[in-house]
C-alpha cells in the first residue's frame, strides 16, 4: 500500500489530522541518555496512540545523544503501533550514493515510513527517497522559521515565489505519488498559494503552538476539498502538557470542528488570485470614494496600477497573473499600452521570454519619428496588454496605431475589466478582450473575506448596475 493511501486510511480511521512530534529536547529530559529519550517518547505514544494520525520523531535530538541515541530512535519508532505512520524529521539533502545511504538508514535501519528532505540540490537529491511507493517523502517547501523568506520567498523571473515553483516541480517529480510538502502553518497565504499549485498533495504543516501559527487559517488554506491533505504538527504543546492525551484531544477536536463547519467558499476566486487581490488592496492600488475616470464616468472605486512600479514583488506577481490567459493565445510579440501597462508588459516579457513593443501616445517629431517603439516586422501578430478596461476607447486608439505600422491585433488582455462596456465595444469590432479579474470578481471576493466594508462594496455594485 502506498504511503499516502495508508496515511489517508489512518486519518479516516481515527478522524484525525494530528501529527504528534517526538522531540526529546535536552531540557525536557532528566538526564542526557538514550534511556531517558525513550521514556520521554513512550509516555507521549502511550497517551496519544488512539488520537494521532502520525508521529514525527526529530532525528537531531536523538543523534545528539551519540550511538545510544540512534539506538533509542530505532526503539521509539518500534514503539509506535504498526498502523500509525512514522515520519522521520531528518531534513536530509544530498545526491547519488550519499542520498541512497540516507534513504537506507531512514527506511531500512530505523524503520521510518517517511522522511523530510531538503530539495535544494534538485530532483536527483529526491529520487533515491521516492523509489519505493510504500515510503513517503515530505520536501521542505515553505518552512515556518522567521528567516525562510530570505530564500524561499524570492520572486523568480516567472513572477512566482521560489516555494510555489518548488511545489509545481514536486507535483511533476512524484511519479509514485508518494511525495508531499512541508509548508509552515505560520503563513496562511503561502499555504493557499502552495495548495493552488499542488491541489492533490499532502502537506506537513508545523508552526501551530510555540511558533504562533493560526490553526483555523492554516486549515482554511491547506485542506484539500476532501477534508484531508494536511497534517497539523504539534510537538511541545503536547509533550509538555501535564496530560498529553487531554491536550491531544483538544487539538484534534479543534481541527475537526473546523473541518465540520468548513465554510463553502462564497467566492470562486482561485487562491493565487485571492492573494493578488489582497495585495493590490494592501498596496494602495485600489481605493474607494468618489472619482472621475478618464472616460468621464463617476466611479466609487479607483484602481491605480501605476503604483506597481514601487513594489517589485507585487509587480512580478501581477505580471504572472496574465500568463495563463496568454498561454491560450497565438502571437509574436506583446504590445503594452502606455503608461500603466508598460512596467507590467516589461515584467511579463521577462517572465515569458517574449519580445515587447509599445505604441507611443504621441508620435515623435524628431529622430526616427517612431509611432511604435521596439523591434517588429510588419505582418506579425501582437497581443495588446493593458492594466484596465473601462469603455475600450484607449484600446481602439492603440489598435489603430499598431495596425498602421503593419501589425495585426486580435486579442487584448487586461488585469481588471471594470465592466463598463469595453468588452462589448471591442467584440462589436471583432476584437477579443480577456481579463484576469473583473470588478465583480474583486468585490465579491473582498465581501466574502470581509476585507472591505459592505457599504463601499454595495456602492460599487450599484455603479455596475447603472445606479
pLDDT in tens, 326-382: 989 999 999 999 989 999 999 999 888 899 999 987 765 665 567 899 999 999 999
Q: Which domain holds residue 190?
A: 3-261
Which of residues 153 and 269 earns the better pLDDT score? 153
Q: Compute the average pLDDT of residues 89-114.
A: 95
Output DSSP code: residue 226: T
Same domain, 174 and 276: no
Locate cell 513594489: which residue? 311
Q: Compute the average pLDDT of residues 259-264.
A: 74
Looking up residue 324, the CATH number of its domain turns out to be 3.40.50.2020
Asked if residue 266 is part of any domain, the answer here is no
> What's the confidence (pLDDT) of residue 21?
96
C-alpha to C-alpha distance for 240 and 257, rounded to whole angstroms: 24
The pTM assigned to this predicted structure is: 0.71
Locate cell 501597462: which residue? 341
> Among candidates 347, 363, 354, which has minimal Cα distance to 381?
354
Same domain, 359 and 254: no
> What's the confidence (pLDDT) of residue 132?
93
Which of residues 181 and 210 earns the better pLDDT score? 181
C-alpha to C-alpha distance for 445 and 271, rounded to whole angstroms: 11
Tally of structural domains, the chain: 2
Same domain, 122 and 181: yes
Residues annotated as catalytic are 91
> What's the confidence (pLDDT) of residue 180?
97
Residue 230 Ramachandran class (φ > 0 left, ψ -120 to 50 alpha, else beta): beta
> Among candidates 441, 453, 418, 417, which has minimal Cα distance to 277?
441
Q: What is the CA radius of gyration of the chain?
A: 27
C-alpha to C-alpha distance for 424 and 428, rounded to whole angstroms: 6
Same domain, 297 and 413: yes
Name the pLDDT band for 313 (thresholds 50, 70, 90): confident
Amino acid at each position: 500500500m502506498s504511503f499516502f493511501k495508508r496515511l489517508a486510511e489512518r486519518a479516516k480511521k481515527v478522524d484525525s489530522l494530528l501529527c504528534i512530534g517526538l522531540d526529546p529536547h535536552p531540557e525536557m529530559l532528566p538526564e542526557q541518555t538514550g534511556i531517558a529519550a525513550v521514556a520521554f517518547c513512550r509516555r507521549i505514544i502511550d497517551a496519544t496512540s488512539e488520537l494521532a494520525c502520525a508521529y514525527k520523531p526529530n532525528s537531531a535530538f536523538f543523534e545528539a545523544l551519540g550511538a545510544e541515541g540512534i539506538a533509542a530512535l530505532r526503539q521509539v519508532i518500534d514503539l509506535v503501533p504498526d498502523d500509525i505512520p512514522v515520519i522521520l524529521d531528518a531534513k536530509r539533502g544530498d545526491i547519488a550514493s550519499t542520498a541512497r545511504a540516507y534513504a537506507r538508514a531512514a527506511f531500512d535501519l530505523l524503520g521510518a515510513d517517511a522522511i523530510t528532505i531538503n530539495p535544494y540540490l534538485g530532483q536527483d537529491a529526491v529520487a533515491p527517497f521516492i523509489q519505493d511507493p510504500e515510503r513517503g517523502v515530505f520536501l521542505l517547501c515553505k518552512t515556518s522559521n522567521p528567516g525562510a523568506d530570505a530564500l524561499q520567498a524570492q520572486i523568480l523571473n516567472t513572477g512566482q515565489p521560489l516555494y510555489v515553483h518548488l511545489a509545481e516541480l514536486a507535483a511533476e517529480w512524484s511519479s509514485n505519488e508518494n511525495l508531499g510538502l512541508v509548508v509552515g502553518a505560520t503563513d496562511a497565504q503561502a499555504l493557499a498559494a502552495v495548495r493552488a499549485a499542488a491541489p492533490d498533495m499532502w502537506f506537513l504543516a508545523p508552526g501551530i503552538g510555540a511558533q504562533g501559527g493560526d490553526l483555523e487559517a492554516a486549515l482554511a488554506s491547506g485542506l484539500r476539498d476532501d477534508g484531508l491533505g494536511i497534517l497539523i504538527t504539534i510537538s511541545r504543546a503536547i509533550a509538555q502538557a501535564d496530560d498529553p492525551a487531554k491536550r491531544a484531544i483538544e487539538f484534534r477536536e479543534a481541527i475537526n470542528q473546523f473541518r465540520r463547519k468548513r465554510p463553502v467558499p462564497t467566492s470562486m476566486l482561485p487562491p493565487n488570485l485571492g492573494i493578488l487581490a489582497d495585495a493590490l488592496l494592501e498596496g494602495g492600488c485600489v481605493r474607494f470614494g468618489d472619482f472621475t475616470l478618464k472616460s468621464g464616468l463617476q466611479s466609487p472605486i479607483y484602481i491605480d496600477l501605476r503604483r506597481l512600479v514601487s513594489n517589485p514583488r507585487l509587480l512580478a506577481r501581477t505580471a504572472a497573473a496574465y500568463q495563463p490567459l496568454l498561454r491560450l493565445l497565438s502571437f509574436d510579440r506583446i504590445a503594452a499600452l502606455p503608461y500603466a501597462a508598460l512596467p507590467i508588459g516589461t515584467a511579463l516579457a521577462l517572465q515569458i521570454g517574449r519580445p515587447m513593443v509599445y505604441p507611443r501616445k504621441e508620435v515623435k517629431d524628431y529622430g526616427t519619428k517612431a509611432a511604435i517603439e521596439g523591434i517588429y516586422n510588419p505582418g506579425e501578430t501582437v497581443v495588446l496588454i493593458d492594466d484596465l478596461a473601462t469603455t475600450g476607447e484607449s484600446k481602439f486608439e492603440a489598435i489603430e496605431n499598431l495596425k498602421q505600422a503593419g501589425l495585426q491585433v486580435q486579442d487584448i488582455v487586461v488585469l481588471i475589466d471594470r465592466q463598463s462596456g469595453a468588452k462589448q465595444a471591442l467584440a462589436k469590432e471583432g476584437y477579443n478582450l480577456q481579463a484576469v479579474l473583473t470588478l465583480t470578481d474583486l468585490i465579491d471576493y473582498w465581501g466574502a473575506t470581509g476585507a472591505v466594508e459592505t457599504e463601499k462594496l454595495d456602492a460599487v455594485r450599484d455603479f455596475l448596475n447603472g445606479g
